[in-house]
Structure 1
Amino acid sequence: MTEINREKLKAQYQKEMELFEKKHKKSGELYKKAQDSLLQGVPMNWMTKWAGSYPVFVAKAKGAHFQDVDGNDYLDFCLGDTGSMIGHAPEPAVKAISEYAAQGTTFMLPTEDAVWNAEELQRRFGMKYWQFATSATDANRFVLRLAREVTQRPKVVVYNWCYHGTVDETVAIIDETTGKTVAKPGSLGPQCDPAITTKVIEWNDVQALEDALKYEDVAAVLAEPVMTNCGIVHPQPGYHEKLRELTKKYGTLLIIDETHTICAGVGGCTKAYGLEPDMVVVGKTVAAGIPAAAYGFSADLGAKAAAAIPPELCDIGGIGGTLAANALSMHAMRAVLSEVLTEKFYDKNIPLAARFNEGVQGVIDKYDLPWNTTQLGCRTEYWFRKEPAQNGGQAEAAVDFELDQYMHLASLNRGILMTPFHNMALITAETSQADIDKHTAVFEEIVKNIL
């Protein structure tokens, strides 16, 4: 097994930093200027974690590429971490958004597009009733509130190192020493000890799931059907069947978050795997970058949720938002669902993702590296451990921040953007075989430089 040469890694990273600053002078100037008005020089503080001396400032984008303010062109495999999975500025969405904006964007009233979207999401995911939000984070917040209200139970179950946006109950992990639920490292100002609201268990552990549910104090299990933010961690055979069986046995609701896993097909893993949850959440790419998300209910749960919301208090119950289901986002969503995010989209992209995966795995095998690759639909990823992780704890233990930063920076300097903070690529309709093969060549080059 070939090990990374850590001295070469440090030396090569320094070379890449020097090259980055040489190629991104205008981004550097903007970053310096922004220190006087933007906290830490960026509009969101996590942007400081991008590899390099500062983030690249974007000028424009189209399809699978974008250009920065210095005129550099990039093949984009990040695609807004799913937010632009359908590609940058797809024509049907551009046309729908630009034309519709001229007639008003938000009214706090329904439009015909909302009905069409709900019917289409119903067809794709099998959930009877739908509501809309401005982000998947909000949608997850709302479904957890509704679950607790309907069940009159206080707790939720999530998975170790999961990601469901900035939902308070989910910013928690399992303490390696005590096995207890604790705040995730870096969690800012937790409202309370997360153990009060949350039970964290490992993915694929059936016994841990039953142990968490058997006290009948859990309102809902919130799960991605395949874990994605700690690497792609697939369910073991039969796990989803046990998850549904045990949630029903103990009167717990099952919420499936398809925000990332919509990469698997038009109805995400819910459709692909034949899942039967009580609620489904989707977001990010469904409105071509216009902030929008949706959450659906089974017929039975929808009726219970409606009955639990007093009409005279429905505007102050902690669910909703002035811009939720705004007219522009509904129109953009309709354009995306009807003309872009179709079966044809996946028929083209999933084989290209397989080509990406095979190219990376070929380099890993050629140099006998202790890494692995995994794929889910048009999403693919490599991880710094020999075998694919079976749960979030295993995936997190394999994180190598120094190596991560190098791989991202070296790729960026060669015109390729990967998803930050892990090594994930998304394939969109405008990605070509030549794009895929370019990444394989770059991947081999930057790996060879640190062996």
Structure 2
Amino acid sequence: MIDRTRLAEFRAAEENRFAELHPRSAALSQQASEHLLAGVPMPWMTRWPGSFPVFFESAGGARFTDVDGLEYVDLCLGDTGAMTGHALAPVTEAVRDRAASGITTMLPSADAAWVAEELARRFGLPAWQLAMSATDANRFVLRFARHLTGRPKIAVMDWCYHGTVDETLAVLEDGEVRPRPGALGPQVDVALTTRVVPFNDLDALEAALAHGDVACLLMEPALTNIGIVLPDDGYLAAVREITRKHGVLLVIDETHTLCAGPGGATAAWGLDPDLLVVGKPIGGGIPVAAYGMSAEVAERLRGPMLGHEIDVAGVGGTLTGNALATAAVRATLSHALRAEDFAVAIPLAERFTDGVAAVIAEHDLPWHVQSLGCRAEYWFCPPPRTGAEAAAAVDEDLEGFFHLWALNRGVLMTPFHNMALFCPAHTEADVDRHTEVFASAVAALTA
């Protein structure tokens, strides 16, 4: 229904407008390209719309300002890394105080005990460990699962994403496990390490676990990194039943689905995992993650954790659990990501969904928008049920156009897909501004 020639013309015009708006970012990008590979400190920073990245100067609450002095409504929030809002004052104060009195000694601080107690209260799992990132936490949990079960493989959902964990960068292709498109230099054939099943497909899960070689199922309760794919009614309860039947540990990754509430989807939907991983926003922007486990799993791991060679067990990191990180988590969980914060943010996501849905309906487009807690996203297709359906529906030309159109009008969306995230610092006016910008883009394309 979209004229692709017209789309290309509008995209070219927006590229020119972007370059005119950001001369300072263009200059910094040129400078960075001399010694930073691809001109950025992290590869995915090349994924932003525009011919070069926008360099930011400062961020606070739900807004940021770039080096050209332009202010934006931030609906990306660091792809959940800043889900609390930017520069949360209590976190800033805690980090400043902790840095002034020592950051890392390889010894625990009092904040670590508080953090573990609070995570146990929120998620219902009694024992916790810290990591530097959710990627690390997932990697460690997979090691623990293989150790506890004596089984060599893990299972994941088709088109999932759990960070840069080798075993999880796998998809199904014609029924066979293959490396995920774009995965660079896999260390081993993922077919040897991983079984992959489609989300919302219980028969496929049953068949995969029946082989008896799977240590754990690592999954998000709703897919997010390929776009929001919600579970069918009764699906997650059946997953728990099937994993127990086959002696497979269930690991829930709440790194993104924490958007569902203070205890993520696990608390909001009454889930019962054996292990749970959470990262990104819990440190208010400071790199830190955590993983929790049931009392049974904790008891079985207690012996190995006290072993003489635990420091070379493949689980750890010299800076992991440092005093700066635990101080940041304590300050964050004390002042953000609470029930009262989600009570503000979730209605904003719902308002976003309603606004986008009204535009889609007005133009009679076969598109869809939905929300998950304080997260919302629109699709250029009907709602998918699996990761493969979501991946097949990706329209990079349309996504790039909408992202750039919004960016040029002061609204930042998440670069990987059409996702918006909300924090208590956002306002209804911020939501309505996006609706206006989205409506203008749709009107331009369909005129």
Q: TM-score, normalised by structure 1?
A: 0.98
Could you tell me how far apart the structure 2 residues matched to 1:421 and 1:139 are?
23
- 2:292 aligned partner, one-letter code: G
Which residue in the other structure is 2:94 paired with? 96
**Counterpart residue identity of residue 164, structure 2:** T
Could you tell me which amino acid in structure 1 is paired with residue 170 of structure 2? A
Give the equivalent residue in structure 2 for 1:284: 280
Q: Does 1:436 align with 2:434?
A: no
Q: 1:411 aligned to 2:411? A: no
For residues 154 and 305 of structure 1, what CA distance do their matches in structure 2 show? 18
Which of the residues 149, 154, 159 maps onto 1:161? 159
Asked if residue 423 in structure 1 is aligned to residue 421 in structure 2, the reply is: no
Distance 1:49 1:419 in 2: 10
> Who is 2:37 aligned against?
39
Measured in 2, the distance between the counterparts of 1:38 and 1:93 equals 30
1:310-363 per-position Cα deviation (integer Å, ceiling 9, x unaligned): 611100000010111110110010011111121110011111110011000110
Alpha-carbon distance between aligned partners in 2 of 1:362 and 1:90, rounded to the nearest angstrom? 33
Amino acid at match of 2:58: K
Q: 1:132 aligns with which of 130, 133, 148?
A: 130
Report what 1:392 is aligned to: 387
Secondary structure at 1:106's aligned position in 2? coil
Which runs of structure 1 show a deviation greater than 6 angstroms over 4 or more consecutive aligned residues? none
Question: Deviation of residue 85 (structure 1)?
Answer: 0.5
Query: Structure 1 residue 180: deviation in Å?
Result: 0.5
Name the amino acid aligned to 1:158. Answer: V
Change (3 A) 1:310 1:325: closer
Q: CA–CA distance in 1 between the matches of 2:285 and 2:64?
A: 15
Q: Indicate if the aligned counterparts of 2:98 and 2:327 stay in contact, CA closer than 8 A.
A: yes
**Alignment-derived partner of residue 440 in structure 2:** 445
- Within 5 Å, give how 1:246-395 maps onto structure 2: 246-309=242-305, 311-385=307-381, 387-395=382-390
Asked whether the equivalents of residues 304 and 310 of structure 2 are also in contact (C-alpha less than 8 Å), the reply is no
Report the secondary structure of 1:315's partner residue: helix
- Separation of aligned partners in 1, 2:163 and 2:370: 22
Q: What is the rounded CA distance, in whole Å, between the counterparts of 2:153 and 2:312 in structure 1?
A: 22
Counterpart Cα distance in 2 of 1:445 and 1:6:
17
CA distance in 2, matches of 1:95, 1:340: 14
- Seq. identity, %: 53
2:397 aligned partner: 402
Task: Determine the C-alpha separation between the residues in 1 that align with 2:312 and 2:146.
Answer: 16
**Alpha-carbon shift at residue 240 of structure 1 (Å):** 0.8
2:258 aligned partner, one-letter code? I
Spell out, residue by residue over 1:286-324, the C-alpha distance to the aligned partner (whole angstroms, 9 max, x if none).
001100000001000011122234611100000010111
CA contact (8 A) 1:92 1:340 kept: no
Q: Which moved more, 1:43-52 or 1:417-426?
A: 43-52
Would you say the 8 A contact 2:399–2:418 is kept in 1?
yes
Alignment of 1:61-72 (within 5 A): 61-72=59-70
Alpha-carbon displacement from aligned partner over 1:403-437 (angstroms, at most 9, x marks no partner)? 11101111000000000110000001110011010
Matched, 1:212 2:208: yes
Aligned positions, number: 446
Paired residue type of 2:142? L
Q: Which residue identity lines up with residue 47 of structure 2 in the other structure?
A: K
Distance 1:67 1:338 in 2: 27
Cα offset, 1:449, TM superposition: 1.2
Unpaired segments of 5 or more residues in structure 2? none
In structure 1, the gaps of 5 or more residues are none
